[in-house]
Amino acid sequence: MSFLYSLDNKRYHTLNYFYKTRFGKKVFKVSLNAGFSCPNYQNGTGCIFCSHQSGDFAGKKEDNLLTQFENIKSMMEKKWPDSFFIGYFQAATNTYAPLSILKEKYETILNIKNVVGLSIATRSDAISKEVFDYLEELNKKTFLTVELGLQSIHEQTLKLIRRGHTLENFTQCVLELKKRKILVVVHIINGLPYETKEMMIETVRYLNDLNIDGIKIHMLHVLKNTPLETLYIKENFPILSKEEYIDIVCEQLGYLNPSIVIHRITGDPTKEDLIEPTWLLKKFCVLNDIDKEMKKRNLYQGDYLK
């Protein structure tokens, strides 16, 4: 048996499948740094896990957007010459600016040949009424996705990690975007300090009930020179083993509607910045082991909803 939403024997809804069936060819997200800031960082706190370089793998912010885009595009085209592209505004909070600036930056990328859409990473507390209205207009002209960081539904965790917004604020933002027929992708983190397996599964079940369109699942990693490093040294909170992480991800996938696209299923921090867990550096081993475990359990995305 092969999973309906996969072209490569995965047991979950892959982004590759989603793009190929929608656009008929290979699609790449080009990660960009538009020089935006973050309201949570500017208010003097910031999330404890953040290196203040959110979007570490985006383009170089000292380069203009066109230069960033062309540098990444040229590398991609060497392997896949006939491709479409999505401009991914990844670094920091990409709706945190006056509307005129947002329009100028977004539309600079949309005017590039073979760009079929935008993906905009932001926070639920950083989208004004006028920006909601503009995103709705943009959604009628191009393929638009808004990515929202959540990390956890549990208020005690959100306070501990200094997330800076509530679950209620996040939920209302998702409902507003969905009302305007805008695709929503949500970021969560497994292994946040003192969360149990059951709490992490509850986060996914809540998001499933919100009818989100996609999800990015990350493993908590402790980076150098962050408040999380200080907390880890002080309290030595448990870090998930690779086996624990794989078990939790498989369970989470079982509770997600098969129509929800899995945009990411692990993280890939840089070796130079990482403190723990070191097993996260072997990204493809983690991906392969998730595949093996799902096959071992005879589990497909959404099986627990039947």
More confident residue, 81 or 85: 85
Residue 54: its pLDDT value, please? 47
Task: Please answer whether residues 31 and 57 qualify as being in contact, where contact means their C-beta atoms are separated by less than 8 angstroms.
Answer: yes
In this prediction, residue 42 has a pLDDT band, given cuts at 50, 70 and 90, of low
In this prediction, residue 55 has a pLDDT band, given cuts at 50, 70 and 90, of very low
Instruction: Domain 15-298: give its CATH architecture.
Output: Alpha-Beta Horseshoe (3.80)
In this prediction, residue 58 has a pLDDT band, given cuts at 50, 70 and 90, of low
pTM of the model: 0.95
Residue 53: its pLDDT value, please? 53
Residue 63: its pLDDT value, please? 84
Q: Could you tell me how many residues make up the chain?
A: 306
More confident residue, 129 or 2: 129
Rounded alpha-carbon distances, angstroms, from residue 286 to 46, 50, 75, 244 = 29, 23, 26, 11
Task: Please answer whether residues 290 and 265 qualify as being in contact, where contact means their C-beta atoms are separated by less than 8 angstroms.
Answer: yes
Tens of pLDDT, residue by residue over 156-178, are 999 999 898 999 999 999 999 99
Is pLDDT at 21 greater than 90 in this prediction? yes
Is pLDDT at 259 greater than 80 in this prediction? yes
| Average pLDDT taken over every residue of the chain | 93
Tens of pLDDT, residue by residue over 263-294, are 999 988 889 999 999 999 999 999 999 999 99
Task: Please answer whether residues 13 and 258 qualify as being in contact, where contact means their C-beta atoms are separated by less than 8 angstroms.
Answer: yes
Is pLDDT at 81 greater than 80 in this prediction? yes
Residue 164: its pLDDT value, please? 87
Tens of pLDDT, residue by residue over 126-148, are 999 999 999 999 999 999 999 99
Average pLDDT over residues 24-39: 91
Is pLDDT at 43 greater than 70 in this prediction? no
Provide the residue type at 306 as one letter: K
Omega within 30 of 0 (cis) for the link into 258? no
Is pLDDT at 217 greater than 60 in this prediction? yes
Tens of pLDDT, residue by residue over 103-130, are 999 999 999 999 999 999 999 999 999 9
Percent of the chain whose pLDDT exceeds 70: 96
Tens of pLDDT, residue by residue over 228-256, are 999 999 999 999 999 999 999 999 999 99
Tens of pLDDT, residue by residue over 179-198, are 999 999 999 999 999 999 99
Provide the token pair at 101: 């600036």
SS (H, E, C) the chain: CCCCCCCCCCCCCEHHHHHHHHHCCCEEEEEECCCCCCHHHHCCCCCCCCCCCCCCCCCCCCCCHHHHHHHHHHHHHHHCCCCEEEEEECCCCCCCCCHHHHHHHHHHHHCCCCEEEEEEEECCCCCCHHHHHHHHHHHHHCEEEEEEEEECCCHHHHHHCCCCCCHHHHHHHHHHHHHCCCEEEEEEEECCCCCCHHHHHHHHHHHHHCCCCEEEEEECCEECCCHHHHHHHHHCCCCCCHHHHHHHHHHHHHCCCCCCEEEECCCCCCCCCEEECHHHHCHHHHHHHHHHHHHHHCCCCCHHHC
